[in-house]
Amino acid sequence: MIYVAVFMSAASFSQNQIAPKPYGALPSPRQLKWQETEMYCIIHFTPTTFQNLEWGYGDANPSIFNPSNFSAQQIVDAAKSGGFMGIVYVAKHHDGFALWPTKTTSYNISKSPWKNGKGDIVKEFQIAAKKAGLKFGIYCSPWDRHNPVYGTPEYLTVYRNQLKELYTQYGDLFMSWHDGANGGDGFYGGKKEKRKVDQTTYYDWKNTWEITRKLQPNASIFSDIGLDVRWVGNERGEGPETSWSTIDLQGIDGKPAMPGSTQNFNLGTGTRGGKHWIPFEGDVALRPGWFYHPEEDSKVKKTAELFNIYCSSVGHGGALDLGLSPTKEGRLHPNDVKALASFGSFLKETFAHNLVKEATISVSNLRGNLQKEFGPANLIDDDRYSYWATDDQVHQASVTLSFKEPVLFSLIQLRENIKLGQRIDSVVVEAFMNNEWVKIAKATSIGANKIIRLTEPQKTSQLRIQIYAPVSIVLSETGLYLEPKIVNESQAKEENALDKYGWRVINENGSTVEDGFYAIDQNETTVYSTTQNSIILDFGSELTFSGLGYLPAQDKSFGAIEKYELLISADAKHWTSVKSGEFSNIRSNPILQRIILDKATSARYVKLTALQAVSDELGKPNLRFAEINVYR
């Protein structure tokens, strides 16, 4: 008996002299590099910019692509001023127009008048990124609404050849970005039809991504399910508080999980102990849409909003991918440049001074008693791979920070050394106040980075972090910061929107729909839900207007109109159609949609009808409106 005990403690003693064994799924070296990048920008600048659309149909004449004053450097430098470390350029969007002189399709930049057909925008971004010291990545849309062979096996060869060109002519890429939006209406060489593809098989991703691995081994592959980086499930850039870097993926209808056909209920949260290491990217545009629209000049996100997004993307263990949209001129609008620079200096100011560096740090357990290898000094050395660790048998431990003078803080930052896996289940943060320990925050899924943002700054001279894990604890960095106050950032209002006094929502027989009010109450959080496939507004008397704004419900995308028809009437009986079209990308990014009429019109009644809408899980077609605006 005694012998066994001695033997065991000798065994654990020696185990604790060396690094803890890794736990669960682990990141690859490629993913570690991606994780360190933390913030990058994705740039949409294609003929779609010149059409003022979000999704080009694939029919734009290449002659419209002719920026008058393009500067990749202006755009990249603005991204850099925002603290971003890389850029991803959309070399081909869904409209199928290649922004580099490709051999794979004649629908490319050499057919545009820009630089007399000798230009190469991908090259210009690559060079500008290099000059600014930023990483470079590429997005090449699998869906191609122009290509006549899209939907046939021949297209896969075209797409793979496009990737091969992009992988061999533009240096080392840090990301290869693949979109999940796929198959549907398009120009397709003039056929103008709908082409459906089976996303689980059509792109043969397994072999397609072999090309990426072979030609760009350092490029992290992003798609809605990975391979290296997963989509977070929304285009607001927000990851939930609990967001594990590990995940188990499930396909739809019993098919294997593939881009565009994966259950996305756990894309945000991941899976604790999941089989794959695939952290999330939060993608969101600096403006409401991914492409530049002059009418959104006053809707550029400001520092407060960007910092919220930062905290729930980078601060929830993912990365922030911010969409930038150059104007037709080929530069970022001054409002965007200003927003990026202000955000960048806010971040610098916020994280300039880590208060923990002033603290005495004590820990409740120290692995093998080895100060240098596993001691708490590693928690403040700005090295995300050095760490404090506990003995193998200690799965619950605390770090206590003691300050000479009370400190004021509002952000608590923690990092694990993810080379050893995502080990920590949760943490509880306590402050010593009025002679007792008071719980002030808790968190789960620490991973590469966790920012706990307090609702109010707290002041204390002692702070304790209780940590819980199923294995020995490995914590790499601890930070305490005070978020500076942001002043003078007003929220932009919809310009040109008419006053809605006296309006009502009616049904086909003219009677008032009581809760229709929610669609015209100037409140974007209240929702009017209807089983009808239209909303009808009665202005009370004839009104002259030039367009209509439609904001779908913001909580979930179901009930959003994907294809619409707008009609007007003088008597709510006889209707005239004034415009129809698609609300591109509304499923993923349910932002305000504007229908601008070719010329102003007058009517007492207006009807917005859904020709196609996003149905809910049960296939119900309810339409859900957050707000309708009408423009003068």
Which residues contact ligand FUL by CB under 6 A?
42, 54-55, 179, 181, 283, 290, 585, 588
Measured from the CB atom, the residue of 260 and 375 that comes closer to ligand FUL is 260
CB of 151 to ligand FUL, least distance (A): 18
CB of 211 to ligand FUL, least distance (A): 21
Q: Give the H/E segment covering residue 80.
A: helix 72-81
Contact 242, 444 (CB under 8 A): yes
CB of 436 to ligand FUL, least distance (A): 49
Measured from the CB atom, the residue of 292 and 605 that comes closer to ligand FUL is 292
DSSP secondary structure letter of residue 256: P
Structure-token pair, residue 600: 């102003």
Helix (H, G, I), strand (E, B) or coil at 567: strand
Q: Give the CA dihedral 55, 58, 61, 64, nearest 10 degrees.
A: 20
CB of 587 to ligand FUL, least distance (A): 9
Q: How far is CA 484 from CA 346, 455, 588, in A?
A: 8, 13, 33
CB of 238 to ligand FUL, least distance (A): 15
Structure-token pair, residue 457: 């700054």
DSSP secondary structure letter of residue 309: H
Residue appearing with tokens 């089976």: 198
Q: Give the CA dihedral 464, 469, 474, 479, nearest 10 degrees.
A: -40
The alpha carbon of residue 428 and the mean position of all alpha carbons in its chain are separated, in whole angstroms, by 28
For strands 229-231 and 220-223, give the pairing.
parallel
CB of 5 to ligand FUL, least distance (A): 60
Contact 507, 532 (CB under 8 A): yes
Type of residue at 52:
N
Measured from the CB atom, the residue of 54 and 238 that comes closer to ligand FUL is 54
CB of 179 to ligand FUL, least distance (A): 5
Contact 222, 246 (CB under 8 A): no
Helix (H, G, I), strand (E, B) or coil at 174: coil
CB of 609 to ligand FUL, least distance (A): 24
Measured from the CB atom, the residue of 281 and 391 that comes closer to ligand FUL is 281
Q: What is the DSSP string of 473-536?
A: -EE-EEEEE-PPPP-S-PPPPPTTBPP-TT-EEE-TTS-B-GGGGGGSSS-TT--EEESSSEEE
The alpha carbon of residue 18 and the mean position of all alpha carbons in its chain are separated, in whole angstroms, by 39
CB of 570 to ligand FUL, least distance (A): 38
CB of 557 to ligand FUL, least distance (A): 12
> CA-CA distance, 502 to 404, in Å (whole number)?
63
CB of 95 to ligand FUL, least distance (A): 10
Q: Give the CA dihedral 239, 244, 245, 251, nearest 10 degrees.
A: -90
CB of 551 to ligand FUL, least distance (A): 18
The alpha carbon of residue 125 and the mean position of all alpha carbons in its chain are separated, in whole angstroms, by 21
User: By C-alpha distance, which of 200, 262, 256, 252 is closest to 225?
Assistant: 262
Measured from the CB atom, the residue of 62 and 233 that comes closer to ligand FUL is 233
CB of 339 to ligand FUL, least distance (A): 19
Question: Is the omega angle on the peptide bond into residue 324 within 30 degrees of 0, that is, cis?
Answer: no
Measured from the CB atom, the residue of 181 and 394 that comes closer to ligand FUL is 181
Measured from the CB atom, the residue of 314 and 397 that comes closer to ligand FUL is 314
Q: Whose CB is nearest to ligand FUL?
A: 181
Q: Sign (positive/negative) of CA torsion 361, 366, 371, 374?
A: negative
CB of 629 to ligand FUL, least distance (A): 23
DSSP secondary structure letter of residue 82: T
For strands 623-631 and 561-569, give the pairing.
unpaired
CB of 324 to ligand FUL, least distance (A): 11
Q: What are phi and psi of 74, to 5 degrees?
A: -60, -40
Structure-token pair, residue 229: 């980086």
**138 burial via Cβ count (<10 Å: 0-12, 13-18, 19+):** buried
Measured from the CB atom, the residue of 287 and 464 that comes closer to ligand FUL is 287
Measured from the CB atom, the residue of 184 and 273 that comes closer to ligand FUL is 184
Measured from the CB atom, the residue of 141 and 530 that comes closer to ligand FUL is 141
Measured from the CB atom, the residue of 140 and 389 that comes closer to ligand FUL is 140
The alpha carbon of residue 546 and the mean position of all alpha carbons in its chain are separated, in whole angstroms, by 33
CB of 439 to ligand FUL, least distance (A): 40
DSSP secondary structure letter of residue 330: S
> CA-CA distance, 90 to 615, in Å (whole number)?
30
> CA-CA distance, 415 to 356, in Å (whole number)?
14
User: By C-alpha distance, which of 138, 140, 254, 253 is closest to 203?
Assistant: 140
Measured from the CB atom, the residue of 184 and 484 that comes closer to ligand FUL is 184
Measured from the CB atom, the residue of 99 and 443 that comes closer to ligand FUL is 99
Measured from the CB atom, the residue of 212 and 585 that comes closer to ligand FUL is 585
From first CA to last CA, the distance across the chain in angstroms is: 89
Measured from the CB atom, the residue of 588 and 629 that comes closer to ligand FUL is 588
CB neighbours of residue 622 within 10 Å: 16
Measured from the CB atom, the residue of 530 and 588 that comes closer to ligand FUL is 588
